[in-house]
Structure 1
Amino acid sequence: MGMRYHRLVLLISLIPLMLAVMSCASDGSSQAFRTGSSPISPAARTPEQQAVQDHEQVVRRQLSDTTDGNARFALLDRLASDYFRAGMVSDSMRVREDIVDDSRIPAGRRSLAAASLAEAYAEGFDYARSERLLDRARTLAGETTPAELESLPREPSYAYFSAEAEIDRRYLNRHDLGLLKRREIEELAWHNINDPALSVKRHQAAVNELLGNSPELVRVLVQNNRRTEALSYANEIRWDIDNRSDLSPSPIQRAAVELGRSMALASNDDYDGAMSAVDVAIKGFQKAKLAPYSGYIGDALRLRLMFALAMGRIGDYQADADAWEYGARINPVVAHTISEDERESLVLAAHGNWQEAQRRIAAVMADNLVRRGPESPFYKYQAAMHMLYRLEDPAAHVGETEIAGYVKPLVGTQDDYDDSGTRGAYDEDGALALSMSRAMNEGGQGQVLAFQIAELFHMNATQGAMADGAARLAAATPGLRALIEQEQSLRHEQNTAHGALVRATNWFSAAQRLGGTQAQQNLASANVEHEEKVIKATDEKLVSLRKQIASQFPLYRQLVSPEIPTPGALAKVLRAGEVYVDFYAGRDASYAFVVRPGGNFQAVRLATTRAALMRQVVALRAGFDAGIPPQRPGDLAGFDLGAAADLFQQLIAPVQDDIRGATTVYIGTSGVLASIPFDVLVTRPATSLEDADWWIGTTMPVRIPNASALVLARSHPAAHASEPLIAFADPSFDGRASASDVGPGARVVARAFPVDTGAPAFDYHLVVPLPETMAEARSIATTLGASDQSVLRGKQASRSEAMKRDLSNHRVVLFATHGIVAGEVPGWRKSGLALAYEGRGLSDSVLTADDIVTLRLNADWVILSACNTGFVTGAAGDAVSELSRAFFAAGARSMLVTQWAVESRSATEVTTGLFRTYADDPSLSKSEALARTERDMASGKDGGLYRHPYFWGAYVLVGDSAR
């Protein structure tokens, strides 16, 4: 009661000052945004601006004689557009507020104007005005008649959802809520596009909304650390506008899609691709004759500067900086979408004034730390900007301590981890890559940091799917759910406390600036101290609660924010004969990090780059990805022996001495290197399969998503399950009874999910059936001594069946079906396993990574047989890593997956041969059993044809290879 009384006294005493502050701006940017650019004096106006100013008087007289609402809207809308074209954006917005206030104009038009202004004011940090207009937009949307909807260019519900999304992320610091709103817009747009009952006008409005929303949806996906989904969505939208005749984008819409795609590419550490995309966007906006001070061009120029900064090339874009400055002088939305200090810091950096750029962004960071806290994506990307300024400043020396100060909060520790699910968009990967490069020169501790940064890259590629899985796990676990609800409540308190501190700080500044009495200043200072104590207390409660969650539910903690181990911690779980190698391929430099049992650690800079490796990987995979196996012994069938030897020399040879003697080499990587079939590399140039010296002849490469996955798997040992097998095979993709069993014939399914470009949605019935998988499943069952009842097929091989069963008593869990990766089918943004049709198709028939997390497993092996279950694109992260992380989280110890479309006869030979070898020799590890099977086939034991790596090299072991 005493504390509440003290707070009440403080607030009452500060009321005069509060009123004074409220009449001013809550911060500098808001005040500038309210008034727009400085009023243009009559003498400074251009003839065009003076003409528009004079024309307003004519319009006002016409309005006094016009009662028709549509005519009044047309007059004001034209005037607002004329003001904008003349560069008088503040006046344009003033006129649009007149539209909102004009009761004779139809409600729908007014709602759209209110929502548009609400979003613009939210972007300019004027939240009071934004929320007032948003309330108007909602009310007026409810008053819009069905007849008026047919005449509107945009549905009011779309518009106010968009404004709500901006308020959620900018004002409430709830980027997750902003994402939900953006997804609602997308879902509503697609619903209307595919609704045949709607008019052509309504369909076009839905198309406009879908394409206009796309860059902002990408932005919030990235800021919610869903980078793989963001790129999948961006590529999907581009595919849609190229292939769907019902979309027909305008040049501006096509450019906007490229703008969104540039953000998605940058968030996946592909700045070259991001630059190409933003270049296309800017050219598109310019070709469409957008005003150089328009919001789209301002956003695009800012992004190009951010990407250039991440690439170390911002000095080449001084013209962009100057053009952006020009736009900010004209358009208050461009000026105040970000703070003036942040904008000026980029401009200064472009002109080589690094120290002042650092000072300006440091001020923004300090402000955001108060406003939103260190977990805000705004703070995170600004911290990355500051780090890049420091690293690229030729006069600054950035040592290991400073690099560690930036990196450590991102990699986390056991007791202090960030589970907010946010990341710094635009430039964070660039800051990490350059930090890694510098850290490599900072001795042993620096190289440990470089290793952890590389691990963070691999981890980030799949974090969105893991966060979904964590949410599903919490929903299904009452004790965990209660703790998560407490955490969410504390997060709300934290956001509220930051907002209160901002107000208290503003009041204290006003008390000093406006000459408040000493008593008022003392009370204002006390209020600031109180709010700081509230934040500190809330932060301490959050840390304590996270420790409790990590202790009671370690799996959840590893899903939302996995701890990245040091080489020393990883070495403790490695066993004799094992070694771990982390590969990172960068645009300017590549690295290999080797960890051996006992703690020996080596960091090696590789003499290659991502682009060079990409060329070799494409050459190596070309024959495999074509899906055409060799037809006769000795036929290379497109297999590039030269690329197989070159990749070995570029990646393995530099660390050969460090891995010598290891029978199992765990490989952690992502991006382009994730698509390498390491099993088919050769140690020296060869001209024929008979002459090939396969790397697997001496060691077996085993894929692992990252070091954290191996540490987690070995930190929570469990007793082996008692039942030998449960298998899901030959799913019924068409909803009918499964196909009849096939004989010993062989075939290859290269395209499991055929896409019909003329269809509005993917037809799940067209998934290519796999009747031959029954022979494989039954053969494995026989080898393991399992009963026929252990093999589920047809309709029974379904997602719902897998989800409801307790699979924890089976040593081997087999899914003999197709794997599907994000973006493989338009509208699908997750990796998963295609199971029996259950009524809707993709949405209810695919077992996704976030489904898998909630399965109850205690499996020595999870076998993902058939085609492409381990396929990765080599671009935006690592699909096999997403699935394997999910299976490991669910309780699997290892997985066997395929990297291309396998031929059915050899598939059976590999999997049954593997289990036969494994069962016959209890001394063998899983990797040794697979190595023997592949070596036998490569040596010709199964016939000359099967020497070709197409048949045996598709299989890769992922996870813990120990017995």
Structure 2
Amino acid sequence: MALRQWALARFPMLLRPLCLLLASLCLLAVPLVATAQADAAPPDDAVQSGPPEPSAKERSAAAQAEFDARVQDLRQKIAAASDGEERYQLLDQLSDAYFKASRVGEAMRVSDEIVNDAKIGAGRRSLRASQLALSWAISGDFARSQRYLASAKSLARDATPAELESLPREPGYAFLRAEAEIARRAQNRHEYALSKIRELSNLARRNLNDPGLSGKRHQAATNELLDNVQMQVRLLVMNNRRQEAMSYVSEIQLVIKSGRELKATPVQAASINVAEAIALSSQDDYDAALAAINTALATFQGLQLPEFDGRVNEARRMRLMVALSLGKIRDYANDAEAWMRARGVNPVIAGSVSMGESDSLALATRGQWSDAILRVDGSIANQVRHQGTESPFTKYLTAMRMLYRLNDSAKPATQSDIERYVANLANDDPDWADGSFRGAYVEDGALSTSLGTLVPAGTPVSDSAAALAFRISELLRSNSSQGALADGAARLAAGNPALRSLVEQEQLLRFERNASRQQFAREADRADRIAKNPPADPMVAERSAKAQAIEVAEKAKTLEASNERLKQLRRQISAQFPVYRELVSPNIPSAAKLGSVLRPGEVYVNLYSAANAGFAFIVQPGGKLVAMRLDITRERTRNLIAALRKPFDAASPPEQEGDAGGFDLAASHALYAAWLAPLKDHLQGAKIIYISAGGPLSSLPWNALVTAPAASLADASWWVAQVAPMQMPSASSLVLARTLPRREATRPFVAFADPSFNGRERSAAKASKRSVRESPFASDVTPQTIDYRRLQRLPETLDEVNAIGAALNAGDGSILTGTAASRTRVMKEDISDVRVVAFATHGLLPGELPGMPYAGLALAYEGQGLKDSVLTIDDVVGLRLNADWVVLSACNTGFANGWGGDSMSALSRGFFAAGTRTVLATQWAVESQSASELTVGVFKALAADTSLSKADALVRTQRDMIEGKYGALYRHPYFWAPYSAAGDAARP
């Protein structure tokens, strides 16, 4: 039904009202130390009054008299004080006294006095105005919040340098935090909120590193940076930048651990544990998230923070969310009870999360699933009204609802329920759901649990259930690296005037739609209020109701038109610029569509490692789909991969023929037996197997698996001897690679090798023939304190690219090295007609260096290190390539961190978007001579046999090494297995 018709039909019962704060709540004041830090949907339930004030009967007469005397004494002193600082301290004591007495409403009135007291310094007043702006934004009164924000900014400009030295926090920090809250809650601008929070963190970093500032301001900057971690991580997750969220938490924790730059208080460390739990939840790692949140709450308990403290209650709420995703929420009823008590005392907590959400979680702890659904439905309806279905607020609430259904054994979720849920998240031609935003906390839990419901153990899977489960698995796969491509999409649009124009139009239409929705929501809320409190005169009430119904219907019509214009424009962008569409919101193809681009002898396999099971989806040419459940847990998978990778990540290859070098044959076979052997019947006849696998499986070297138990390497039956595995970021990547028009490149080769990391020209260095590629970092430095100019040189990479160039008959000038192997040169060089492009340097992964949110390639130093010397994914997307191959012959031991594979997958997606068909990359620190033999062997094999696919050329060279054709030593997988190929296996 059209939105306008719906509005008329439903009037006057139009959804649920926005939070109506009564006059008593306007007195609310909460010191920042206890302000709720929740990243929750704006509330949908009316706060009918301020917190219940303790009566005289409930206190001892002596205690009441003592409190009254204290208040009276402070009031007398305030009236007599003329000095601004003295007045502030007295008013602050009064506010604190009210707060500690749980009379939070009166505390707010005192904070308002501070803001309006002209005798108090502008900086102090600005800070308090920002606190009020933040509290009101969390509580849902955005008009009042905006007024306080304007005051905070104005007052901040009047703060003197001397006053800034006396403040506990810089006014700029405070109003940026409040501005972010208003942007996401009132304006539905979650990307803008993230930009403001990043601005806050960057300001704190600049102040921390400014030698001209005092130690006190350095400490304030440290506190701000650490206190902001939780909010920044939340917003990164909600803006679908999950990898960045995970790497940011890891980076902060590493810097704290080093003890050099940042020293965290116990409360800050606990809050960062909460941030870690949020990031882990976005990776469907709820077991680790639960451990992190338990640590946080144990710390808070040890510090004896009050029950109504906002940080404590945000941690409780997060534990309830994690437990819900794990199916264990009924074990945490105490958290729900404590949270509900805190809501009654602290209105900021009450306002930060809707009553529908909190009630539903409390009901879920009692197993009252149907009631929980009814309560959260109201919150969802409110969010759809105010922010739409694409909002991260709406998405996490609908994920909660889905989990309630999935946990309800009395009325279990049906396939249709799951299908309706997934339809709002997974894209489909020709329309797209906005992949820029995701729900935090429980969205991956809902999707992963849905997989288990659709593909149960020991039960045949219907075709329709398999298709839906495949869709979910692909969605989980693309989500893992999607955010890393957002900046690349912006770079792509900036470089193409026609696309840029369409993208700018799309942004304007989104703003227009948001404005239309706000107008509709405002009128619909007004209609609700009229319906609940009609005029006393029946005739006046009827006229008022009819007039409001017409107004709501008109606003609904305007909103519906805005939605349609945006939908049509997105279809146009998708048709004209499919690569941009793939970057911002990849289409998930059906098995039939994917099967139509698969060639004879090829099979696509999607593997997903859930907490308690594995899932496999096999798509064959023609579109036949098979869905399977595998009996292996994520923890078991991680342990086996760690055991398999241990000798590779140690970067210590065997030195003698027959030396096993610590290679774990049992782990290798166990991984094959768990993940591939059950698929064997469906892989019959396949020569090329495209594997799409995220999470821990992204770090698995598939070509190092053995198909049967073996006592020694000499007896090993390698899987790569039977098939050619190719890694693929997602099904949409393969479809795009096979459907985009191509033209033949004319130049054979360009390479960027052995960059000058110190920015100085130097003579060629002789590399040992059997050297192992160095780690980026010398042994005497930590990644947190490293100077980019101290990255370790890789002279042996020059020998490798020279050999590749010779094999490809490349001419002089095709290899750029030293200071010429720079990011600027890569960006300016015309490589659009080059068949093979090589980057022989260090690969840097997120979290390895501060300020590295995505994977990148270290190139020549250009003055600022990370800021201008690393080729990042957004740079890559902006390149115009037409390459058959991109060779990333980089030293990279970061795969061992558990997320490195997904980071490199994102980098590969960037190269695919730029026009590359296949990426050849290393999975650990290679030994130079064998690496050169392998890469050169691939290109020689392709030149010698035009019938070979790229995958065949790689595995043929690897098989030759296994058979000893390159020397007996190189039969060890350390030498032949480090390179893996991703992308299209076919020749152009």
Compute the TM-score of the two structures, normalised by the length of structure 1: 0.95
Q: What letter matches 2:56 in structure 1? A: P
Report the identity percentage.
47
Deviations 1:319-376 (A, max 9, x none): 1011111111111111110111111011111111111100011111111101000010
Cα deviation for residue 788 of structure 1 reads: 2.2
Deviations 1:400-426 (A, max 9, x none): 221111112211111221236110000
1:652-801 to structure 2, matched below 5 A, reads 652-742=676-766, 745-754=769-778, 761-801=785-825
1:251-270 to structure 2, matched below 5 A, reads 251-270=266-285
1:437-586 to structure 2, matched below 5 A, reads 437-441=452-456, 443-516=462-535, 517=540, 518-586=542-610
Cα deviation for residue 822 of structure 1 reads: 0.7
Q: 1:938 to 1:494 in 2, by over 3 A?
A: same
Is it true that 1:277 corresponds to 2:292 in the alignment?
yes
Is it true that 1:101 corresponds to 2:119 in the alignment?
no
Q: What letter matches 1:561 in structure 2? A: S
Q: 1:50 to 1:597 in 2, by over 3 A?
A: farther
CA–CA distance in 1 between the matches of 2:636 and 2:758?
Answer: 43
Q: How many residues align?
A: 945
SS at match of 1:962: coil
Is it true that 1:130 corresponds to 2:145 in the alignment?
yes
Which gives a bigger RCO, structure 1 or 2 (Cα 8 Å, sep 6+)? 2
- Is the contact between residue 584 and residue 591 of structure 1 (CA under 8 Å) also seen in structure 2? yes
Q: 1:882 to 1:915 in 2, by over 3 A?
A: same
CA–CA distance in 2 between the matches of 1:433 and 1:66?
Answer: 62
Deviations 1:862-895 (A, max 9, x none): 1111312994633477012111100000000101
Residue of structure 1 in register with 2:34 after alignment: none
- Is the contact between residue 937 and residue 947 of structure 1 (CA under 8 Å) also seen in structure 2? yes
Is it true that 1:922 corresponds to 2:936 in the alignment?
no
SS at match of 2:388: coil
Q: 1:380 to 1:661 in 2, by over 3 A?
A: same
CA–CA distance in 2 between the matches of 1:631 and 1:51?
Answer: 81
SS at match of 1:788: coil
Deviations 1:74-123 (A, max 9, x none): 11212222222222222222222222122222211111111111111111
CA–CA distance in 1 between the matches of 2:856 and 2:309?
Answer: 41
Residue of structure 2 in register with 1:5 after alignment: none
- Is the contact between residue 179 and residue 220 of structure 1 (CA under 8 Å) also seen in structure 2? yes
CA–CA distance in 1 between the matches of 2:44 and 2:52?
Answer: 14
Q: 1:246 to 1:889 in 2, by over 3 A?
A: closer
Q: 1:899 to 1:377 in 2, by over 3 A?
A: same
Residue of structure 2 in register with 1:10 after alignment: none
- Is the contact between residue 461 and residue 877 of structure 1 (CA under 8 Å) also seen in structure 2? no
Is it true that 1:850 corresponds to 2:874 in the alignment?
yes
- Is the contact between residue 938 and residue 957 of structure 2 (CA under 8 Å) also seen in structure 1? yes
Q: What letter matches 2:486 in structure 1? A: A
Q: Which of 313, 318, 338 is matched with 1:323 structurally?
A: 338
Q: What letter matches 1:340 in structure 2? A: M
- Is the contact between residue 755 and residue 762 of structure 1 (CA under 8 Å) also seen in structure 2? no
1:263-342 to structure 2, matched below 5 A, reads 263-342=278-357
Q: 1:315 to 1:638 in 2, by over 3 A?
A: same
Residue of structure 2 in register with 1:616 after alignment: 640
Cα deviation for residue 754 of structure 1 reads: 4.1
CA–CA distance in 2 between the matches of 1:30 and 1:406?
Answer: 22
CA–CA distance in 2 between the matches of 1:555 and 1:753?
Answer: 36
Q: Which of 45, 58, 64 is matched with 1:44 structurally?
A: 58
Q: Which of 369, 392, 414 is matched with 1:399 structurally?
A: 414
Cα deviation for residue 178 of structure 1 reads: 0.5
CA–CA distance in 2 between the matches of 1:94 and 1:667?
Answer: 61
Cα deviation for residue 805 of structure 1 reads: 2.1
Greater alpha carbon shift after TM alignment, 547-556 vs 34-43? 34-43
- Is the contact between residue 258 and residue 278 of structure 1 (CA under 8 Å) also seen in structure 2? yes
Q: 1:743 to 1:610 in 2, by over 3 A?
A: closer
- Is the contact between residue 781 and residue 788 of structure 1 (CA under 8 Å) also seen in structure 2? no
Q: What letter matches 1:574 in structure 2? A: L
Cα deviation for residue 750 of structure 1 reads: 4.5
Q: 1:554 to 1:343 in 2, by over 3 A?
A: same
Q: What letter matches 1:880 in structure 2? A: M
Greater alpha carbon shift after TM alignment, 673-682 vs 412-421? 412-421
Deviations 1:783-809 (A, max 9, x none): 111112111111111111111122121
- Is the contact between residue 596 and residue 622 of structure 2 (CA under 8 Å) also seen in structure 1? yes
CA–CA distance in 1 between the matches of 2:303 and 2:223?
Answer: 16
- Is the contact between residue 234 and residue 261 of structure 1 (CA under 8 Å) also seen in structure 2? yes
Q: What letter matches 1:60 in structure 2? A: R
Residue of structure 1 in register with 2:82 after alignment: 67
CA–CA distance in 1 between the matches of 2:548 and 2:660?
Answer: 79
Q: Which of 179, 187, 194 is matched with 2:209 structurally?
A: 194
Is it true that 1:210 corresponds to 2:192 in the alignment?
no
Cα deviation for residue 562 of structure 1 reads: 0.3
Residue of structure 2 in register with 1:867 after alignment: 891
Deviations 1:457-485 (A, max 9, x none): 11111111111111111111111111111
Cα deviation for residue 232 of structure 1 reads: 0.4
Q: 1:23 to 1:151 in 2, by over 3 A?
A: closer
1:12-161 to structure 2, matched below 5 A, reads 35-45=49-59, 51-161=66-176
- Is the contact between residue 750 and residue 838 of structure 2 (CA under 8 Å) also seen in structure 1? yes
- Is the contact between residue 247 and residue 847 of structure 2 (CA under 8 Å) also seen in structure 1? yes
SS at match of 2:986: coil
Residue of structure 1 in register with 2:5 after alignment: none
- Is the contact between residue 813 and residue 859 of structure 1 (CA under 8 Å) also seen in structure 2? yes
Q: What letter matches 1:375 in structure 2? A: E
- Is the contact between residue 36 and residue 332 of structure 1 (CA under 8 Å) also seen in structure 2? yes
CA–CA distance in 1 between the matches of 2:86 and 2:21?
Answer: 40
- Is the contact between residue 726 and residue 790 of structure 1 (CA under 8 Å) also seen in structure 2? yes
Q: Which of 385, 392, 404 is matched with 1:389 structurally?
A: 404
CA–CA distance in 1 between the matches of 2:782 and 2:897?
Answer: 25
Cα deviation for residue 746 of structure 1 reads: 2.1
Residue of structure 1 in register with 2:8 after alignment: none
Cα deviation for residue 288 of structure 1 reads: 2.2
Cα deviation for residue 453 of structure 1 reads: 1.0
CA–CA distance in 1 between the matches of 2:905 and 2:709?
Answer: 30
- Is the contact between residue 810 and residue 859 of structure 1 (CA under 8 Å) also seen in structure 2? yes
Greater alpha carbon shift after TM alignment, 718-727 vs 893-902? 718-727
CA–CA distance in 2 between the matches of 1:891 and 1:687?
Answer: 44
CA–CA distance in 1 between the matches of 2:603 and 2:522?
Answer: 55
- Is the contact between residue 851 and residue 866 of structure 2 (CA under 8 Å) also seen in structure 1? no
Cα deviation for residue 819 of structure 1 reads: 0.9
- Is the contact between residue 244 and residue 758 of structure 1 (CA under 8 Å) also seen in structure 2? no
Is it true that 1:912 corresponds to 2:948 in the alignment?
no
CA–CA distance in 2 between the matches of 1:837 and 1:520?
Answer: 70
Residue of structure 2 in register with 1:9 after alignment: none
Cα deviation for residue 32 of structure 1 reads: 5.7
Residue of structure 1 in register with 2:904 after alignment: 880
Q: 1:557 to 1:759 in 2, by over 3 A?
A: closer
Deviations 1:662-701 (A, max 9, x none): 1111100101001000101011111211111111111111
CA–CA distance in 2 between the matches of 1:921 and 1:749?
Answer: 31
CA–CA distance in 1 between the matches of 2:706 and 2:852?
Answer: 36
Q: What letter matches 1:41 in structure 2? A: S
CA–CA distance in 1 between the matches of 2:953 and 2:515?
Answer: 57
CA–CA distance in 1 between the matches of 2:390 and 2:605?
Answer: 31
- Is the contact between residue 42 and residue 353 of structure 2 (CA under 8 Å) also seen in structure 1? no
